[in-house]
Amino acid sequence: MAAVTVGREARPGNRAVAKYVRSSAFKAREVLDLVRGKSYTEAREILQFSERRISNTIAKCLDSAVANAEHNDELDGDELFVAACYADEGPTLKRWRPRARGRATRIRKRTCHITVVVARYTDDELTAIEARLALKGTGRRSSAAEARRRRVAASRERDAVPTEEPAEETENQEPTPSSDGEETSEQAGATEAENDEADDQDSRDGHEADEIADRHGSDSHEEELEKEEKEKEA
């Protein structure tokens, strides 16, 4: 376990080193400046969403340092922070590129050694962090596995509670025809049938009256003809 100086205090810390990384120390230092002094959770999020390619290598080195602290000293990863991180220059690979008129240009392929040291917050610092998060209305950040277990338990509770069926709206329902309405429609149909029969009877009576009138007219005409013939004979 390495001793790390944080401010004016020397603390025990765990480290991880990534050697001969194919990147320049300048590029690695720009990313390391973003995570120095951050908690493990915050530093991991910064590296995850960083657009620099070297961020993946630094994230692996940070995870290795935290794994060393958890395995060797049985520390909780949520209580660790990046106490120190730096990048040293490694050997430079020299290559040549052909240019015009038989000349050549030197190519320098830089390498670096990345070191990340994590240490545990003190009890006073952990208490202050918890109080600050409580004022914000949030609790301490737990691991991804614990968060997933809480989500699964909450979803199972929601599935176990039976959902109440919404009350049916009776305002928009159309009224169903009652027995009185059915009887009224039947009576109306019977009345119409009787009216039709009465009209047919009236029409038949009218035809019979016309036929009788025609017969009476023809009889009177025959009587007149007979009278005229008798007068002529007289």
pLDDT digits (tens, 9 = 90+) for 47-80: 999 999 999 999 999 999 999 999 998 888 889 9
> What pLDDT is recorded for position 141?
52
> What pLDDT is recorded for position 132?
84
pTM of the model: 0.56
> What pLDDT is recorded for position 62?
95
180 in the Ramachandran plot: left (φ > 0), alpha (ψ -120 to 50) or beta?
alpha
What percent of the chain has pLDDT above 70?
A: 66
CA 200 to chain centre: 74
Please answer whether residues 46 and 38 qualify as being in contact, where contact means their C-beta atoms are separated by less than 8 angstroms.
yes
Q: Which two tokens stand for residue 45?
A: 């999020």
Distance CA 163, CA 168 (A): 15
> What are the sequence ranges of the domains in the chain?
2-146, 186-234
Say whether domain 2-146 belongs to CATH 3.90.470.10: yes
Ranges of the chain with pLDDT below 50: 178-183
Residue 205 one-letter amino acid: D
What percent of the chain has pLDDT above 90?
A: 42
- The alpha carbon dihedral of 38, 71, 18, 48 has a sign of negative
- In this structure, are strands 80-89 and 93-98 parallel, antiparallel, or unpaired? unpaired
Average pLDDT taken over every residue of the chain = 80
